[in-house]
Amino acid sequence: MLHSERNSNRTVTYVDWSRGGAHPATYGAADVTPDLIQRIRTSQNPCTYNSRPTSTCFLFARKFSPDALEPLLNISSTVMQY
């Protein structure tokens, strides 16, 4: 791996298989709510950094559609405190 020293190794990977099918749910603009972020944060798997629990959860946003960006940015300062 090139530049491995720059890898922070810190993402929350949250998947929702409840909708069925071969792939987990993709969240669109209508799905992005404070409640969704809270469900991700309070998952049964606590966030860790360097194998230690942390209060900051970094979100890997692979399963958000492009139209979810604006709603995520709109709630980021209040819900995600960024």
| Parent domain of 73 | 4-80
* 27-46 tens-digit pLDDT: 999 999 999 888 877 767 66
Nearest to 58 by CA among 25, 9, 7, 6: 9
Question: DSSP characters for the chain?
Answer: -TTGGG-----B-----TT-SSS---B-GGG--HHHHHHHHT-SS--EETTEE-S---B--TTB-GGGHHHHHHHIIIII--
Residue 40 forms beta bridges with which residues?
Answer: none
Instruction: Note if the pTM is more than 0.85.
Output: no
Given this model, what pLDDT does residue 59 score? Answer: 65
Number of domains present in the structure of the chain: 1
